[in-house]
Amino acid sequence: MHLKHLRTLLSPQDGAAKVTCMAWSQNNAKFAVCTVDRVVLLYDEHGERRDKFSTKPADMKYGRKSYMVKGMAFSPDSTKIAIGQTDNIIYVYKIGEDWGDKKVICNKFIQTSAVTCLQWPAEYIIVFGLAEGKVRLANTKTNKSSTIYGTESYVVSLTTNCSGKGILSGHADGTIVRYFFDDEGSGESQGKLVNHPCPPYALAWATNSIVAAGCDRKIVAYGKEGHMLQTFDYSRDPQEREFTTAVSSPGGQSVVLGSYDRLRVFNWIPRRSIWEEAKPKEITNLYTITALAWKRDGSRLCVGTLCGGVEQFDCCLRRSIYKNKFELTYVGPSQVIVKNLSSGTRVVLKSHYGYEVEEVKILGKERYLVAHTSETLLLGDLNTNRLSEIAWQGSGGNEKYFFENENVCMIFNAGELTLVEYGNNDTLGSVRTEFMNPHLISGSDWWLQHWHRQP
């Protein structure tokens, strides 16, 4: 993963003016920054500031400066923002779909201690940590909150896995706790996972391991059951300071950690099953990094600082131009952004199993995507953004693809015809045949439904 500085979204001030938290919307269209003045600034995907609103205290009698914002997250539908505050409350603001829409508080959750961190992993479900050590859940549908689990130690960090169905909390005593809403068949354990040597303020849950760091200037990668995989020790480096925050790429195959004037980038190497450090990104006078936010499509990383600055970086492994009409940006081994250079429209092609995406081709009058991984085949319709990933064993690239039907891709290989409906991750079926003519096969909606019903 390479980071290239693109622009300054918010200029730093002369003194301490900490950016307390930042968040990207799920639809990639909005980016939010909360300043030290407790004001939320809203940017579009191009980095232009489009809107803002002020947060409010739990009780006005204590004044507008009586609290800090410690956590912020967009709802899955990108129309709401949850704000976690040190005056023992969470507010949920409905911000609407358009810039300038009126900001309305639609939920509030009063707590018994300060909110220290917050995530919004699923519809109606906000997860947050408290100063008293509890990790709780707020349900925006019922407007009620409940405790998921309790500890005796301040919650310093909170993160989710790539699917949003599992959470990790880091605590002041070094404890890291894992909880699953759904373990997705992994069989991984819940509860206390590891006791890190210091408070893990920098905590990220990547695809193959958990990365934690803090004031001891050591970065530790833990396995799925808490055993230590790798340690990167910078405690003897006089130029390095404590690690303050961390973020995993949306695909989970890169992790960035922030410290002082520096971003450290680590990439997972699947063939060797290890983390490898890339060249650090060093920026003089950036000062302490206080917040990191990765755009959901993997293409941008935003960095907030102690002095109130916000910097935006381009993220990619490699980039290429396809037939002078499309830009292919590999933002991770398993994720590629395909951009139409004339229209500006983009499609994110991703292996949901984490397999490395090999060469991407655009076929069928430049409308359809085809890409292989070691175990699967990726197909997609650029016009409708319907994407499929099916199990597929390598066959030397000898497949023939037929795109005459808008609903179904027909793949002919080694005497076998396979049919794949765009947007469906299972094949419709396959038949042996020595002769292939796409015009003799119907792809009507009735035919698709009928085939789906076959045993």
- Position 23 scores a pLDDT of 98
Q: What is the SS3 assignment for 214?
A: coil
Query: Nearest 5°: phi and psi at 129?
Result: -110, 155
- Residues of the chain below pLDDT 50: 443, 445-447, 449-455
> Which tens digit of pLDDT belongs to each residue from 235-285?
999 999 999 999 999 989 999 999 999 999 999 888 888 999 999 999 999
CA distance 338 to 330: 9
- Position 446 scores a pLDDT of 39
Tokens standing for residue 242: 């404590």
Q: Which burial class, exposed, middle or buried, applies to 274 when counting CB atoms under 10 A from its CB (0-12, 13-18, 19+)? A: middle
CATH number for the domain formed by residue range(s) 319-452: 2.40.128
CA distance 286 to 423: 44
- Position 143 scores a pLDDT of 96
What is the CATH T-level fold of the domain 2-315, as seen in this structure?
Methylamine Dehydrogenase; Chain H (2.130.10)
> Which tens digit of pLDDT belongs to each residue from 310-323?
999 999 888 999 99
- Position 367 scores a pLDDT of 93
- Position 455 scores a pLDDT of 44
In angstroms, how far is the first alpha carbon of the chain from the final one?
Answer: 45
Give CATH 2.40.128 domain extents, the chain: 319-452
Give CATH 2.130.10.10 domain extents, the chain: 2-315
Check if the beta carbon of residue 360 is closer than 8 Å to that of residue 371.
Answer: yes
Type of residue at 66: S
The chain-wide mean pLDDT, for the chain, equals: 92
Tokens standing for residue 27: 């639809």
